[in-house]
Amino acid sequence: MNDPQSPRDPLLLDHDADGIQELDNNLPSWWVWLFYLCIAFAVAYMLYYHVLGKGELQIASYQAEMATGNALKQASISRFESSLGAATPGAEAAVIDRGRELFMTYCSPCHRVDGGGLVGPNLCDDYWIHGSQFADTVKVVWNGIPEKGMLSWREQGMKPSDILAVSSYIYTLRGSNPPNPKIREDQAPATPTEVYE
């Protein structure tokens, strides 16, 4: 391949692969320093985190952050729970719109899109199983009635502001008289099948 007569670059290495040859240049000194630095860093890192155990590993710092987050969440849940009794329905369009959206997504399968009741009771009349005050509605939505099939929306992960929004939306349904509402529980026939037909 190489012509022995022609002058040859002294850096040229002997091996060649399919006619491709390489020069034996020195590595740039910035690269070499970077390489040494990486080695030094790795040694320092291993000593600090794994040998001396001074630094927090990823798992530990994740758990610490989760604990801080959970404490914040608990504090805001307790604040919300202690304010439940004094809750008042919001009337701003943004709140009602958000409430309607939540209702259509999460509640309508059981309470019907117009709130007339299906599996869950009619939410449009003046008859309430768990109390007619706005605060009663908020408490039911927050805590649920697990033994009767009404979910706890706190456990479902609904935010306090959303709980208030959806309760405020329900508040606007009062007196809306949807057609064919679900029969009141205390007036329903004894055989529940007739109710669901």
154-165 burial: b if 16+ Cβ within 10 Å, else e: beeebebebbbb
Q: Does 84 bind ligand HEC (CB under 6 A)?
A: no
Name the nearest CA neighbour of 100 among 152, 170, 154: 170
Can residue 129 be called a binding residue for ligand HEC (CB under 6 A)? yes
Q: Which helix or strand (DSSP H or E) is residue 13 part of?
A: strand 12-17
What phi and psi, each to the nearest 5 degrees, are found at residue 177?
Answer: 45, 60
Q: What does the DSSP 8-state code read for residue 26?
A: P
Q: Which of 63, 70, 45 is nearest to 55 (CA)?
A: 45
How far lies 140's CA from each of 134, 154, 159, 185, in Å?
10, 10, 14, 17
Interface with ligand HEC by CB under 6 A: which range of 62-70, 128-136, 171-179, 188-196?
A: 128-136
**Region from 3-11, 43-51, 67-75, 104-112 binding ligand HEC, contact rule CB under 6 A:** 104-112
* Rounded distance between C-alpha atoms, residue 129 and residue 137, angstroms: 10
* Interface with ligand HEC, residue 135, by CB under 6 A: no
Residue 49 or 108 having the CB closest to ligand HEC: 108
> Does 114 interact with ligand HEC (rule: CB under 6 A)?
no
Shortest Å, Cβ 136 to ligand HEC? 7
Q: Cβ of residue 173: shortest distance to ligand HEC, in angstroms?
A: 10
* 107 sits near ligand HEC (criterion: CB under 6 A): yes
Rule CB under 6 A: is residue 150 a binding residue for ligand HEC?
Answer: yes
**Residues numbered 169-188 forming contacts with ligand HEC, rule: CB under 6 A:** 170
Residue ranges binding ligand HEC (CB under 6 A): 102, 106-107, 109-111, 119-121, 123, 128-130, 137, 140-141, 145, 148-151, 153, 166, 170
